[in-house]
Structure 1
Amino acid sequence: MREPHMVFRKSSYSGARTQDCVEVADLPQGAAVRDAQNRELGHLTFGIAEWRAFLTDVTAGRL
C-alpha cells in the first residue's frame, strides 16, 4: 500500500554489498520504512519522536 506522497530512498545504513536493504521515506509527521526486497508488503510508519530516538541510538552505536 503506497501513498502517492511518499518517496522512498535506500537507507544510508543499509549494506552496500548485501541485499539486506531498507528504504525510508520522509514524512511531515515522521518517517516510513519498508523492506526493499518486499515492497508489496507495505511499510511501517514512525512518529517524529520515535524516529529521532531511533536515529540517535543508531548513530551512537546502541543498535
Structure 2
Amino acid sequence: MAREGGSGRSDFEKRSWAHNQNILRFQALLHNAAHRDRHDEIRKLLHDEEEKLRSLENDR
C-alpha cells in the first residue's frame, strides 16, 4: 500500500476513516430521540456515507 510522505497514512486510509467516523456519527444521531424530526435526513446522509465507503473500497 502506498504511503504518503510523513503522515504514515495513505489517502485511502484517511478517506476510509473519515467515512467511518461520519457513519458512526449518523448512527448515533439516529439513536438520539432529540433528533426524531430529522431522522429521514439523517438516514439519507448515513446511506450516502455507506455508499461512498463501498465505492472507495471497490475502487481500491
**TM-score computed with the length of structure 2 as normaliser:** 0.33
If asked which structure has higher relative contact order (CA below 8 Å, sep 6+), I would say: 2
Higher strand share: 1
| Between structures 1 and 2, the one with greater helix share | 2
TM-score, normalised relative to structure 1: 0.32
